[in-house]
Structure 1
Amino acid sequence: MNKAETEFPVESGSTFFKGIFIGGLLGAAAALLFAPKPGREMRSDLSDKITLATDKTKEVAGVVTDKTKSIATTVGEKATDLASTVSAKASDILTTVSDSKQQIAATLQETGKKIGDTVSEASGDIASDVKDASADVAEEATNSSKEVADDAKDAKEEVKASYKSSY
């Protein structure tokens, strides 16, 4: 590749066809200039050649149009199929998520009920334990106060006896 080809690469096939067209025009002009035929015959031959080239161009354009329509139809069908597949998959995912959400909600509700039952049970057990402990404390306090009263009475008697014996 030369420097010009490196700096300005051909970016599409249209450049190639433009080159062919320009080359064809230059060749036709050169043929006119160097042709041994008289002008009238040359113009007639040139008109025939242009008509032939035009017909071929129209034929190629028709084939390209048909191919383009065929490709566009195929792409449209594939896009429709893809859209249907994506829609179906999205619907499946939505259904799965909805089902999972309902299962999770039911599980949470059931777990909440179990926790409530456990808390109620534990609360009843604690209330019973507190009542029993309160009764035990009251009984112990009563017994202790009787003992203190008895000890106080005994101490009073001892103080009286020791006071009387000193005087």
Structure 2
Amino acid sequence: MNKAETEYPVESGSTFFKGIFIGGLIGAAAALLFAPKPGREMRSDLSEKFSTATDKTKEVAGVVTDKTKTIAATVGEKATDLASTVSAKASDIFTTVNDSKQQIAATLAETGKKIGDTVGSASADVASDVKDASKDVAEEASASSKDIADTANDAKEEVKASYKSSY
């Protein structure tokens, strides 16, 4: 977990709704006890307040749903990009290995003296390409992970800000 997750843990939805329900009951009881209005007016006011709270809750749930869909789409895109990069690098390595194999066969057919030099050169090329491909894949994976983490943190902050501004 990163620092932000430990400082602001995400609580489950059931805990949140239990708190809203208990708070609503306490608030309703206090309102009835200290209300200067008649019972019908008070019930009407409570009904309006409950409707407002319900609407705000639905609004927050909609925002959370939208942010979740956005994050899921971003993760899917990043995974697709990463898979494409890995596939392209694997294809490059295969082509390099195949080309090196053909070079070695041609060299063996032409002269027996240069076998050691050609094999060494081809192996160095393959090793370099594998090293470069591994580095490119690692950098792409790292960048994708950071983008996803940043998007998730931004969405979390927006939901928090939306929740705090709603109440």
TM, length-normalised to structure 1: 0.52
Structure 1 gap ranges (5+)? 1-9, 115-167
Could you say what secondary structure the match of 2:100 adopts?
Answer: helix
Q: Secondary structure at the match of 2:37?
A: coil
In the aligned structure 2, how far is the partner of 1:43 from the partner of 1:63? Answer: 30
Q: Equivalents in 1 of 2:101, 2:33: separation in Å?
A: 86
Write out per-residue CA displacement over residues 127-163 of structure 1, whole angstroms, 9 at most, x where no aligned residue. xxxxxxxxxxxxxxxxxxxxxxxxxxxxxxxxxxxxx
CA shift at 1:92, angstroms? 0.4
Same amino acid, percent of matched pairs: 81
Q: Where does residue 14 of structure 1 map in the other structure?
A: 12
**Cα distance, 1:95–1:50 mapped onto 2, change above 3 Å:** same
Deviations 1:104-124 (A, max 9, x none): 23334445699xxxxxxxxxx
Q: 1: distance between equivalents of 2:84 and 2:100?
A: 24
Alpha-carbon offset, residue 68 of structure 1:
1.8
> For 2:19 and 2:37, how far apart are their aligned partners in 1?
25
Q: How far apart are the structure 2 equivalents of 1:23 and 1:92?
A: 62
Structure of greater Rg: 1
Q: Residue deviations 1:52-91, cap 9 Å, x none?
A: 1111112222222222222222222222211111111111
Separation (CA, whole Å) in 1 of partners of 2:60 and 2:9: 22
Aligned pairs for 1:2-151 (under 5 A) are 12-14=10-12, 17-18=16-17, 20-21=19-20, 22-110=22-110
Number of residue-to-residue matches in the alignment: 107
Query: What CA distance in whole angstroms lies between the structure 1 residues aligned with 2:33 and 2:110?
Result: 101
Of 29-38 and 105-114, the range deviating more from structure 2: 105-114
What's the C-alpha RMSD, in Å, of the aligned pairs? 3.1
Query: What TM-score results when the alignment is normalised by the length of structure 2?
Result: 0.52
**Structure 2 residues not aligned, in runs of 5+:** 1-7, 115-167
